[in-house]
């Protein structure tokens, strides 16, 4: 899902493109598609998070101001369509129905004992009825895990095991690294001449090659281990028209290599066959769905083992072995079978993403178990409020005559059409002080405020809830 900052960036760029700055998104019609039950965005606060403050005093930086503007833009969306039919888990077995029920409850972090017992039965082990990872169908399946360091370790072991199983030699292709100035303006990057870069020393080069891909920005590997037939994942959007996009899975078909300046083998072009691309890709003189991936130059920072940050330019083909992927990288994918490692997932949303990738319960395997407290206890107040408000905006819940330019106006009209609070309520149920502290019935005098013995003043007059809906009152 898009973040508050990204939504403001989209609106700003659309206004610049059309040269219309007094209408949201420059007057364009915008459709946002996403699921708040999945992982939050990484580029800023989510649209439902309460970290975004609407107070002027808190918006003292450009980042905070863009977050506030993005949150305000989100409140301009008043047409919501909720897709309720499950189009991935459509099996009709008893286990499939239990999986669907567990996923529905997981969205609201309200797992039951039956859901937990069912997921325990999908933990891989030698016990009867549990999945076994040594079976053929789980052999080369990419494992969904939470941490990049675990992903790198699984990919390293998987590459060695794949070469051994297929009786091939594991070929190592090294990157070409050049040191760059620590402060490089990204807008002037193309103007930097090659002379501005210095060659990496042997000791530092050895450390850079031995670093894991997750220790570098954009996860560009220093040493790429490949063999024919190995599953890989593309890590950059090189050519969207050829389906060469970030996250696209593929299989190695061949390569063209050379000897680099350090005497090591370097890739010139890697040929891969796309796995289930959105559309067939046919390039002259190449088989169907086989595309070339040339070596690319990327400006990155690398973190060494002594916590030193090195800024450099790395020439390497943007792929990684695909024996493991993170929960963020698995979003939007359909997998069958589905092997997940939930032990280090930090939120119930990560559980939901990982377990919902598979089609069938019988082909879902969980490694090491999971923490059941992560998926019990209910949602946070902000997410629960967002789900409730989205349900109210769904056209199936209101009369077509109800319209509003933004969320608050819509809720006022909705409350006039179908009041959510009674016109009259007992004082014990509806008395709420202005400062937000609820008082017991025997301590509240609705008719006459009591004097304060300590300060000599009077207590604030309580406000009695009614059917009137104000802009700052949440249903």
Task: Give the pLDDT of residue 54.
Answer: 61
Q: What is the mean pLDDT of residues 18-38?
A: 89
Average pLDDT, the chain: 81
pLDDT at residue 251 tops 70: yes
Cα-based angle 108, 360, 156 (whole degrees, multiple of 5): 90
Secondary structure element (H or E) that encloses residue 427, with its range: helix 427-430
| Residues 124-168: tens digit of each pLDDT | 998 888 999 889 999 899 999 999 999 999 999 999 999 999 999
pLDDT exceeds cutoff 60 at 26: yes
Q: Residue 152 contacts by C-beta under 8 Å, 6 or more apart in sequence?
A: 212, 213, 214
- What is the C-alpha separation between 116 and 118, in angstroms, rounded? 5
Q: Give the three-state DSSP class for 297.
A: strand
Over the stretch 67-101, which tens digit does the pLDDT of each residue have? Answer: 888 888 888 887 888 888 888 888 788 999 999 99
List C-alpha distances in Å: 203 to 42, 106, 206, 209, 267: 34, 49, 5, 10, 22
Model pLDDT for residues 294-323, shown as the tens digit of each residue: 999 999 999 888 888 889 999 999 999 999
- Can you give the residue ranges of every domain in the chain? 4-74, 100-373, 421-475
Tokens coding 399: 């009369």
For Cα atoms 53, 430, 457, give the angle at the middle one, nearest 5 degrees. 75
The model's pTM: 0.78
């Amino acid at each position: 899902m898009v973040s508050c900052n990204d939504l403001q960036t989209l609106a700003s760029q659309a206004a610049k493109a059309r040269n219309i700055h007094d209408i949201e998104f420059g007057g364009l019609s915008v459709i946002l598609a996403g699921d708040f039950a999945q992982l939050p965005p990484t580029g800023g606060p989510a649209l439902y998070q309460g970290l975004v403050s609407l107070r002027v005093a808190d918006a003292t930086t450009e980042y905070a101001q863009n977050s506030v503007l993005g949150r305000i833009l989100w409140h301009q969306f008043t047409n919501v369509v909720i897709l309720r039919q499950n189009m991935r888990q459509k099996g009709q077995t008893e286990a499939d129905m239990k999986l669907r029920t567990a996923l529905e409850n997981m969205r609201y972090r309200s797992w039951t004992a039956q859901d937990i017992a069912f997921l325990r039965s999908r933990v891989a082990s030698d016990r009867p009825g549990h999945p076994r990872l040594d079976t053929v169908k789980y052999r080369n399946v990419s494992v969904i895990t939470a941490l990049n360091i675990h992903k790198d370790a699984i990919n390293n072991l998987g590459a060695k095991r794949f070469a051994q199983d297929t009786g091939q030699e594991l070929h190592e292709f090294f990157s070409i690294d050049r040191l760059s100035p620590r402060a490089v303006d990204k807008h002037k990057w193309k103007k930097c001449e090659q002379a501005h870069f210095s060659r990496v020393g042997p000791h530092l080069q050895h450390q850079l090659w031995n670093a894991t891909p997750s220790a570098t920005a954009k996860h560009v590997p220093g040493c790429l281990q490949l063999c024919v037939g190995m599953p890989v994942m593309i890590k950059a959007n090189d050519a969207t028209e050829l389906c060469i996009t970030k996250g696209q899975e593929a299989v190695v078909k061949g390569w063209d290599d050379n000897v680099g300046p350090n005497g090591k083998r370097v890739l010139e072009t890697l040929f891969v066959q796309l796995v289930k691309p959105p559309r067939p890709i046919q390039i002259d003189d190449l088989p169907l769905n086989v595309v070339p991936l040339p070596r690319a130059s990327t400006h990155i920072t690398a973190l060494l083992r002594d916590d030193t940050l090195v800024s450099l330019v790395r020439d390497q083909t943007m792929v990684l072995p695909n024996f493991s992927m993170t929960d963020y990288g698995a979003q939007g994918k359909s997998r069958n079978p589905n092997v997940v490692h939930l032990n280090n997932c930090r939120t119930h949303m990560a559980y939901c993403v990982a377990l919902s990738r598979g089609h069938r319960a019988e082909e879902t395997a969980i490694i090491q178990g999971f923490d059941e407290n992560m998926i019990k206890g209910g949602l946070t107040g902000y997410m629960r409020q967002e789900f409730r408000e989205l349900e109210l905006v769904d056209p199936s819940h209101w009369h077509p005559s109800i319209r509003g330019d933004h969320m608050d106006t819509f809720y006022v009209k909705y409350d006039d059409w179908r009041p959510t609070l009674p016109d009259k309520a007992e004082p014990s149920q509806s008395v709420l002080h202005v400062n937000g502290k609820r008082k017991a019935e025997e301590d509240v005098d609705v008719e006459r405020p009591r004097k304060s013995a300590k300060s000599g003043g009077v207590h604030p007059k309580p406000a009695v809830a009614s059917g009137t809906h104000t802009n700052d009152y949440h249903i």
